[in-house]
Amino acid sequence: MINPFNLFFKSSRYWLIKSISKLLTSGTRRVEFADFWMGDQFCSLVFTLSNLYLFACSYTIGFENWRKCGSAARTWPVAFILAMLPFLIRVIQSIKRYVDSKLNTHLINGGKYLCGIIYYLCYYIWRHQGSLRNTSFAFWCLFGTLYSVYASAWDFWMDWSLFRPHVKYPFLRAELLYTDHIPLYYFAIISNALIRFIWVIYIPSASAPNMYLRFFIAGFLEMLRRWQWNFIRLENEHLGNMDQYRVTREVPLPYSFDDNHLGDTDDD
């Protein structure tokens, strides 16, 4: 019997596997758009990646005893390493792009992901120490704020190319593709900034819900943030390709024809 799963989207599944495998060889080859775009997708999967060890441990000892896995101190370094792999890959990609192009913007972009690594390191140390309001808590809040502001600013000015002056729609850009849905741009700006600060949901509070529920809420909202981020990021990439004539049917020549000269040529 023919498996329909093997008939549909075979090329897409092959592309996905190939793109993910390229992430593991970052730094050894030229970084293309699909490479760093895929890396950004995995940066939004910190919740999923950090729980891979918990899932494997729970499967081994039995899901009814899953809390024993989460309570072991040795799980935090493993969870941190798994969660930071996409950020480390993006740092390597940014350095590689700087080496190839000598553009300082790639180093600034790499600094964003390095800041994210420090933020999550502070978070896991704080959690390991019992989620108390101590020195590690202060460092976690500090780097959480720095990373959120850093990442939000890069989203708006670089990834989305928004907040341009002298444009028809305030805070946007001159060229837009989703002209029938202008309010959604403003919704994306506000929601993107708010979800970038979703880490505040982890701050201890007597009335706060269970920490595991907060983990799920933060992970789910980050998934939605990345989903809407993709639309505007791909739009901006497409417009950039058009401006540089990488996507076009007609390329203007570096000279013009004189009508009179053309007429004389025709007479000959």
What tens digit of pLDDT does each residue of 73-99 get?
567 888 899 999 999 999 999 999 999
Residue type, 242: M
**pLDDT one-digit tens code per residue, 180-230:** 999 999 999 999 999 999 999 999 877 778 888 999 999 999 999 999 999
Q: Where are the beta strands (DSSP E) in 140-249?
A: none
3-class SS at 168? coil
204 SS3 class? coil
User: What kind and span of H or E run contains 194?
Assistant: helix 182-196
Report pLDDT digits (tens) over 94-119: 999 999 999 999 999 999 999 999 99
Mean pLDDT, the chain, rounded, equals: 87
| Whether the Cβ atoms of residue 174 and residue 168 lie closer than 8 Å to each other | yes
Contact by Cβ (8 Å): 88, 120: no
Residues whose CB falls within 8 Å of the CB of residue 214, separated by 6 or more in sequence, listed in order: 201, 202, 208
**How many residues are recorded in the chain?**
268
pLDDT digits (tens, 9 = 90+) for 33-57: 999 999 999 999 998 998 888 888 8
Distance of CA 189 to the CA centre of its chain: 15
Compute the distance between CA of residue 179 and CA of residue 186 in angstroms, rounded to an integer: 12
Question: Nearest CA to 186 among 170, 164, 198, 197?
Answer: 170
- Torsion of the alpha carbons at 154, 222, 186 and 157, rounded to the nearest 10: 10
* Identity at 65, one-letter amino acid code: N
Q: What is the pTM of this model?
A: 0.85
> Phi, psi (5° rounding) for residue 162?
-95, -175
Specify whether the CB–CB gap between 122 and 139 falls below 8 A. yes
The secondary structure of residue 4, as a DSSP letter, is: G
Closest by alpha carbon to 84, among 55, 43, 142, 139?
A: 43
